Structure formats: C-alpha cells, structure tokens
Amino acid sequence: MTDLVIRAALQDDLEILWDFLAIAAYEPDATAAKTLPNVAAYLAGWRRPGDFGFVAEQDGAVIGAAWARQFSADDHKIAFAGDRTPWISIGVRPAARGQGIGEKLLRALIAEAGLRELGLCLSVRSENPARRLYDRLGFRVGAGHEVVGLDILPSPFTPCVGSVTERGEIRRRLRGVEQVYHTATLHRPHVDSHGRQDFVDINVTGTLNLLEERPRRAIIAKGRAAAALR
C-alpha cells in the first residue's frame, strides 16, 4: 500500500466529487445527490470562483474529498454564514475511515482558508462521531452566535419551553434569529407511543410553522447542527 497523497481538487475531479457529496449528505449515490437542489448546490458548477478543495488518494484511488463553497445572501434557503465564510463538504469512503484521512483533508482546507483569510463553516448531524474531530480542530457550534434551544421540557440545552406546533410561540421566539435547526421529529420508534395526529402536528405543522415564521434571511436546516471556524 502506497502512502496517502493529499492534493488539490481539480476540474477533472467533478464526477468523483459527486460520490463524496452523496456520502456527506447521506444520499445513496451521486445520481440521488444531483437530483436534490439543496444538496447539488454544494457542487454544481464546480469550480466556480471561490471554490477550493482537496482529495485524498491511495494506490491510485480517491478515497476521500473535502471542498469549500461560498454562498451569497441570496442563497439563504441553502446556506449563508457570511460573505467570507464558505461551507465545507467532506466525505471519506467507509472502508477508509478511522485512519485520519478526514482530519488531513480538513487541515488542508483550514490552511488554504487561512491563506485566503476566510472562515469555514460546516453542518453535522448531532450523532455523528466526527463532531469530536471538528471540536478538536477548532470548530464551534453556532460560533459567533448565541445558541438557544426550545423544547416542551426544560433542560440545560433547551431553556425555552414551548412546542413547534404553537405558531404564536414560534413567531415570538424567532424574532431576530439568523439560523434555525429543526430537530423535533417523530420517527418509527414513536409509532407505539404517539398517535397519527401527533406525527402530523410535529412533523408537518411544526415544520411549516418554522418555515413561515422565520425571518426572511434566516437559514433553516433539519436534524443538524452548524459549526464555524473563524
């Protein structure tokens, strides 16, 4: 087995990058990633001005990739964290995980962003073990923002008590908010403990309340947290 090589991602790497975008977005394959506008936006048109990234190669095969893309304020429905804070996409093939490849790719991105005097931002599922890596490299959840949680029960992380089904409460809580992360959903494990209307109220009505009551420029994402490096 040859040494790992980290090199700049080129225009010719576009098709292989789609595979890694699918991995990053938890989509089954590149075809699925291309059909979802909010996913494809992270790669379509590569390399447009401001795009940069790296791929990891071993034995002639690309086993990981990471890149950064700057969005504009007009892209607020997708991702906008500031005009000098591009968003990261990163994926490593399952068989190559646990070998530090993701860290090497991220460090290469961080170094390049430093040369360009840019921050970096990424989104990650709360249960993703890679969050420990992001913490170690200096990413912070909601960096530069006050993070406030809302739930039907109080906790150290959810000081605001309320429900996404209460439209008036959502309207009040979202005043001045820049980013919304909607994690309140019912899944198959809740079938025995919740009725059909509960699923409609929380998954459908609650999501609609957030979409319609959020400030116009606010980002809304589902099931993820955002972390930024500045």
Every domain range in the chain assigned CATH 3.40.50.720: 150-229
Q: What is the pLDDT of residue 156?
A: 63
Could you tell me which residue, 144 or 161, shows the higher pLDDT?
161
**Which one is the CATH code of 5-121: 3.40.50.720, 1.10.275.10, 3.40.30.10, 3.40.630.30?**
3.40.630.30
Per-residue confidence at 127, pLDDT binned at 50, 70, 90? low
Q: How confident is the model at residue 99 (pLDDT cuts 50, 70, 90)?
A: very high
Q: Can you tell me the distance from the alpha carbon of 24 to that of 36, in angstroms, rounded to the nearest whole number? A: 13
What is the CATH architecture of 150-229? 3-Layer(aba) Sandwich (3.40)
Query: Could you read off the pLDDT of 70-81 as tens digits, one per residue?
Result: 988 776 455 566
What is the average pLDDT across 126-150? 75
| Mean pLDDT of the 184-194 span | 79
Q: Is the pLDDT of residue 47 over 90?
A: yes
pLDDT tops 60 at residue 164: yes
pTM flag (> 0.75): no
